[in-house]
Structure 1
Amino acid sequence: MNLFSDIRALVIDSLTAMTTEGALPEGLNFANVAVEPPRDAAHGDMATNAAMVLAKPAKMKPRDIADALAAKLAEDTRISSAEVAGPGFLNLRLAPVVWQGVLGAVLGAGTDYGRANLGQGKKVNVEYVSANPTGPLHVGHTRGAVFGDALASLLGYAGYDVTREYYINDGGGQVDVLARSVYLRYQEAHGQEVAFADGTYPGDYLVPVGQALKDKVGDAYVDQPEDVWLADVREFSTDAMMALIREDLAMLGIKMDVFYSEKSLYGTGKIEAALAELESKGLIYQGVLEPPKGKKPDDWEPREQTLFKSTDHGDDVDRAVKKSDGAWTYFAPDIAYHYDKISRGFDELIDVLGADHGGYVKRMKAAVSALSDGKVPLDIKLCQLVKLFKDGQEFKMSKRAGTFVTLRDVVDAVGPDVTRFMLLTRKNDQGFDFDLDKALEQSKDNPIFYVQYANARICSTLRKAEEAGIATNDPVLAAADLAEVSHPAQLAVIKKLAEWPRQIEIAARTNEPHRVAFYLYDLASELHGLYHLGKTEFGLRFVNESSETATHANLALARSVSIVISAGLGILGVKPAQEMR
């Protein structure tokens, strides 16, 4: 049930009837007609812009359309009033029975209430985290991991066929640096003194890797030249780091469907095939790029390179795919990787990247557009930086990692559920100050506590009702006389519940899972407000000792809130609290 969609359908049917009756001209497009919550709840339950968007094409005054539409809508029993406001906005109030029916829909569907078929089974690839396999995940990766995983769950809930994917950047020079760093720890495991040169990784997390290498090969690589051990140590180290990364992700409850190796693109013809596809479209040529911005002419040496004509697909400049010495640029394997995704039959692609990849967006979108002939959209979501605070001070360092705060540092400090929820209380493209102390506060100012407390409060109420011999299973509550739920504070909660399916569709269309966290906070706020009101107005108490009928109706409302909170937290990857300790 999506009440907003139902009322929009009613508006469209009314407009169609008006067309048939001659009140509107033929051929109008109703696609931009919307039904939404009004900006001011005092104006009504819903509002439609129908008269405003149809006035110009109909060559009519908005007010005239609105007046006629209001009269038509008033014929439906679901509409208690339809009032024209301003130049032609139409505010609607729904009959109480409509709102009461929402509770029956929630209790009947359970956590599937709000589940949508927006995606219609389209295959979507969500690539996220994709950190270089050179160390444990840091707090920046954590935000991308949480965002990407919640987005994947949101899209699955909205009817998409989602694949979660991690792109292992194991084809570049940074993995050689990792191998050299592990080799130093390997020598150290053999009792040698070592010094970490600039650019190597000094973190303690490589100590057990060096020991594990010793356990595997003994002293076979001790004091040997690099060409003897580099390839083997590189593979050994990458495998060890990916095992560490998988453990890090597991701490947050994240499990990938696919781990795709960049290295698998080299020497297999995949890069050549992707560029051949672009060349067949006339998009590969030999040329010289303009000097980068900020370069003085005498600092710039023009070189002929193999270029991708990305400007034909919305980029600012063309991009090099092969250097003058014949080596691939870093962009070439990225093109091949996305071509592979397209070849696997995905209908949509989403990349979740760090804030430092802003310059990557246009070129990659251009490549995907060119490779798919514009048929496969690519959405790139950039996650801005996270700053951690503890005891009022910025928390900057992990001794184990050497230079950064790890995912494990954060999860150890506040737990996986708090980590996930808090990182989703800001839009991904906004910076985030994560105060570890406030994240554990038991107050309204802590959104995760406030939402979890609402659910725990409901669960406690239901347990007490059961102990008092009151049936609280969903079928019994769904059969309650919901006409008892008519107080404005109760209806305010139901109206918020009715928004849930609409919020799912909006969040899924925009790829914005933070909307779910915002919604849950607002729903919890309505629930807490109703609960406190019940302290002075006995009829609003969830368990009304003087009326079994009212009790079942009130518990139906409370249970419906718990169902939606549980569904929302499930999308965010957070376990709903049954009790607070």
Structure 2
Amino acid sequence: MDVFALFSARVANAMHVLYPEIGADLLARIVVEPPRDAAHGDLSTNAAMVVAKPLGKNPREVATALVDHFRHDSDVTSVEVAGPGFINFRLDAPVWHQVLRAISQQGADYGRSTLGGGAAVNIEYVSANPTGPMHVGHTRGAVFGDTLSSLMAYSGYEVTREYYINDAGSQIDTLARSTMLRYREALGETIEIPPGLYPGDYLVPVGEALKVEFGDSLLAKPEAEALAIVRERVLVAMLELIKADLALLGIHHDVFFSERQLHGQGGDIDLTLQWLREKDMIYQGRLEAPKGKTPEEWEDREQTLFRATDFGDDTDRALIKSDGSYTYFAADIAYHRNKFLRGFNHMINVLGADHSGYVKRLQAATKAVSLNAADMDVRICQLVRLLKNGEPFKMSKRSGDLVTLADVVEEVGADATRFMLMYRRNDASMDFDFALVKEQTKDNPVFYVQYAHARAYSIFKTATRDLPALDTSPAALAAAEIERIVTPEELDLVRVLAAWPRTVTAAAIAHEPHRIAFYVHELAAAFHGFWAKGKDDPQLRFVNSDDPKLTLARLALVDAVRQVIVNALGILGVSAPTELS
């Protein structure tokens, strides 16, 4: 049961009855949400201010008519006009009792929606170069993309989790040459890794594996032939390493798409450029030098250009380099046409902070290759500043001095890593403090939430101890006298539970999974706060030995809190322990 959706429908229906001339597009702009100040009521709507101007009326006049309409609604205890035309509602207790019943009946499905209608959405995330293990810089995008995927699936979308393997660039040649040195090292040679190659020890096992498979025979082959063999073996090894790293966080992709299949004669890039030419989306022309580039730094030449500005980009984009090879953007266009041809009209790309300049060009490419049939959202994950001994710790894959995803998980665990990386907007930089995420205090958000779940189980244990004859089975809880839940403190907690479906829907529409982490932390705070009040006021304790029926009703409330915490943590990919050490 979504209280906000329920009253949104009632408000829209009331407006239609009062003003039949109002169109559906105007009604769709009406919002029912919690008031900014809880003291003003349970719900607030902007309906009067949305429709007043098109109707040629004063907002308060429209609001007064709507208030009069809702005075006859049995679920509304009071309704009043506020400010320039907002309308605030206070709801009767039975509405909140219906919320508890809905949670009991729906369980894991409470908050799940059909928003997506089964539409296919492709979410591409991580997509790090396959040149080494995942480091902490990749981890935020990995967790964000995976959580967003779970959120969209929970909201009724058919989600495909995709990893784009950048295995066609010059970095792969560098990787192969770096691995060849490790192969020589495995054969007993003393090596020195020159600047520009990858010095990380993670390539040592690959060199050893090459020795086992080939002995020293690769040394006798022409360099190009040997490097081709090494390239294939190391790519497989690095991809398996990446998959293993991601698995530490419970992250698994449905599709691993190789960039190499876009290249070559008759490949996707050739076919895409041919299609673009047929659609007159490519032309021969010149580009102005980018800002900051001097004439000496910029090659002014006629180029093959994509009409990106026709699709919202700031400039047209080059597709072929001066040496005749394709630009990275040419591959990007072909890749997103491939996605569209696979049936994806909805695409989300999760990129790192250094790719913020790619947003408009990727959106332009998606519009072009789909003839405006597909939409693209690009989510940028800002940098994570890792603190070590109170100081920023820098990393570099090339230098070998890196903090890997595996290092972070080993230090603080998968739950803390996932929750903390989601406990901030993706477009805001963040500090990841090892000391904080290991604390077992209320200042540690993940501990605070998991402790709320464990506390729910502890309350049931207390009930079993104090009232051993009380049946607390799911069937008994479903039949509890929920009507006994009437105190302001109890109903305040139910109000937080009632916000869960709306939170899920809003987060899915906005592609902002951090809202789930914020919400479940708010729910944990409300639950801990109620428990603390019970310490001071025996009448508010969850377990009352003198009133088994009230105890059962409150246990149903506790179980509802537990269930919603589980639902939220499930989206976040975080466990819900029944006890904490």
Bin the TM-score by the shorter chain: over 0.9
Partner of 1:335: 333
Q: Is the 8 A contact 2:196 2:398 kept in 1?
A: no
Offset at residue 400 of structure 1 (A): 12
Deviates more, 1:394-403 or 1:264-273: 394-403
Q: Is the 8 A contact 1:115 1:157 kept in 2?
A: yes
Amino acid at match of 1:11: V
Deviates more, 1:471-480 or 1:82-91: 471-480
Percentage identity across aligned positions? 54
Offset at residue 359 of structure 1 (A): 1.3
Partner of 2:185: 188
Offset at residue 102 of structure 1 (A): 0.7
Looking at structure 2, the residues matched to 465 and 317 of structure 1 have their Cα atoms a distance apart, in angstroms, of: 67
Instruction: For residue 535 of structure 2, give the secondary structure of its aligned residue in structure 1.
Output: coil
Partner of 1:534: 534
Instruction: For residue 260 of structure 1, give the secondary structure of its aligned residue in structure 2.
Output: strand
With the length of structure 2 as denominator, give the TM-score of the two structures. 0.97
Q: Deviation per CA, 1:159-206: give whole Å up to 9, x if none.
A: 000000001000111011001001101100111111111110001111
Offset at residue 353 of structure 1 (A): 0.6
Amino acid at match of 2:257: Y
Structure 1 residue ranges, 4+ long, deviating more than 6 angstroms after superposition: 398-401
Partner of 1:32: 29
Q: Is the 8 A contact 1:461 1:542 kept in 2?
A: yes
Q: Is the 8 A contact 1:139 1:410 kept in 2?
A: yes
Structure 2 counterparts to residues 48-447 of structure 1, below 5 A: 48-222=45-219, 224-267=221-264, 268-397=266-395, 402-447=400-445
For the structure 1 residues 419 and 26, does the alpha-carbon distance in structure 2 shift closer, same or farther, using more than 3 Å as the test? closer
Structure 2 counterparts to residues 437-476 of structure 1, below 5 A: 437-466=435-464, 468-476=468-476
Q: Is the 8 A contact 1:204 1:400 kept in 2?
A: no
For the structure 1 residues 188 and 322, does the alpha-carbon distance in structure 2 shift closer, same or farther, using more than 3 Å as the test? same
State yes or no: 1:493 paired with 2:493. yes
- CA-based RMSD of the aligned residues comes to 1.5
Deviates more, 1:565-574 or 1:290-299: 290-299
Offset at residue 223 of structure 1 (A): 6.3
Deviates more, 1:299-308 or 1:132-141: 299-308
Looking at structure 2, the residues matched to 403 and 304 of structure 1 have their Cα atoms a distance apart, in angstroms, of: 43
Partner of 1:566: 566
Looking at structure 2, the residues matched to 347 and 262 of structure 1 have their Cα atoms a distance apart, in angstroms, of: 21
Offset at residue 228 of structure 1 (A): 2.8
Looking at structure 2, the residues matched to 169 and 471 of structure 1 have their Cα atoms a distance apart, in angstroms, of: 58
Instruction: For residue 219 of structure 2, give the secondary structure of its aligned residue in structure 1.
Output: coil
Offset at residue 255 of structure 1 (A): 0.9
Instruction: For residue 194 of structure 2, give the secondary structure of its aligned residue in structure 1.
Output: coil
Instruction: For residue 167 of structure 1, give the secondary structure of its aligned residue in structure 2.
Output: strand
Amino acid at match of 2:513: P
Instruction: For residue 433 of structure 1, give the secondary structure of its aligned residue in structure 2.
Output: strand
State yes or no: 1:11 paired with 2:15. no
For the structure 1 residues 484 and 133, does the alpha-carbon distance in structure 2 shift closer, same or farther, using more than 3 Å as the test? same
Amino acid at match of 1:508: A
Deviates more, 1:459-468 or 1:474-483: 459-468
Amino acid at match of 1:528: H
Q: Is the 8 A contact 2:178 2:197 kept in 1?
A: yes
Q: Is the 8 A contact 2:419 2:446 kept in 1?
A: yes
Looking at structure 1, the residues matched to 525 and 23 of structure 2 have their Cα atoms a distance apart, in angstroms, of: 45
Offset at residue 469 of structure 1 (A): 3.7
State the aligned residue count.
577
Q: Is the 8 A contact 1:204 1:401 kept in 2?
A: no
Q: Deviation per CA, 1:49-77: give whole Å up to 9, x if none.
A: 11111110111111111111111111111
Looking at structure 2, the residues matched to 396 and 494 of structure 1 have their Cα atoms a distance apart, in angstroms, of: 45
Offset at residue 227 of structure 1 (A): 1.5
Q: Deviation per CA, 1:283-340: give whole Å up to 9, x if none.
A: 1111222112212224333122211110110111111111233211111111111111
Looking at structure 1, the residues matched to 397 and 65 of structure 2 have their Cα atoms a distance apart, in angstroms, of: 71
Looking at structure 2, the residues matched to 400 and 297 of structure 1 have their Cα atoms a distance apart, in angstroms, of: 32
Amino acid at match of 1:251: L
For the structure 1 residues 442 and 293, does the alpha-carbon distance in structure 2 shift closer, same or farther, using more than 3 Å as the test? same
Instruction: For residue 19 of structure 2, give the secondary structure of its aligned residue in structure 1.
Output: helix
Structure 1: unaligned runs, 5 residues or longer:
none
Offset at residue 225 of structure 1 (A): 4.3
Looking at structure 1, the residues matched to 470 and 580 of structure 2 have their Cα atoms a distance apart, in angstroms, of: 23
Looking at structure 1, the residues matched to 275 and 434 of structure 2 have their Cα atoms a distance apart, in angstroms, of: 49
Amino acid at match of 1:42: A
Looking at structure 2, the residues matched to 78 and 474 of structure 1 have their Cα atoms a distance apart, in angstroms, of: 28
Structure 2: unaligned runs, 5 residues or longer:
none
With the length of structure 1 as denominator, give the TM-score of the two structures. 0.97
Partner of 1:520: 520
Amino acid at match of 2:315: V
Q: Is the 8 A contact 2:130 2:238 kept in 1?
A: yes
Offset at residue 278 of structure 1 (A): 1.6
Offset at residue 479 of structure 1 (A): 1.4
Offset at residue 115 of structure 1 (A): 0.2
